[in-house]
Amino acid sequence: MGHTQAVIADLSQSAQQFRYLGLGTHYQQALKLLRQLQEPPSVLGYVDR
């Protein structure tokens, strides 16, 4: 999880490029991944022990 913020930044930039290029399906997929990455770990099924 140490690189999560870098992945979020890269994916966000990619999403904007998809949007700019008119690649709506790819844009929507990138947004979905961003939402998943930004969820608290417990929502993703991880348990803090």
Q: What is the pLDDT along the chain (49 residues), one digit of tens a residue?
A: 578 899 999 999 999 999 999 999 999 999 999 999 888 766 566 655 5
- Tell me whether residue 24 is in a domain: yes
> 33 in a domain, yes or no?
yes
* Structure tokens given for 27: 């844009």
Q: Which helix (H) or strand (E) holds 9?
A: helix 4-20
pTM given for the model: 0.74
3-state helix, strand, coil in the chain (%, to 5): 75, 0, 25
49 found inside a domain? no
pLDDT score of 4: 87
Q: Is residue 39 a part of any domain in this protein?
A: yes
Q: Which domain holds residue 12?
A: 4-44
Collapsing DSSP to helix, strand or coil, 4 comes out as: helix
pLDDT of residue 3: 87
Residue 43: what pLDDT? 59
Alpha-carbon span 31 to 7, nearest angstrom: 13
Does a structural domain hold residue 9? yes
Count structural domains, the chain. Answer: 1
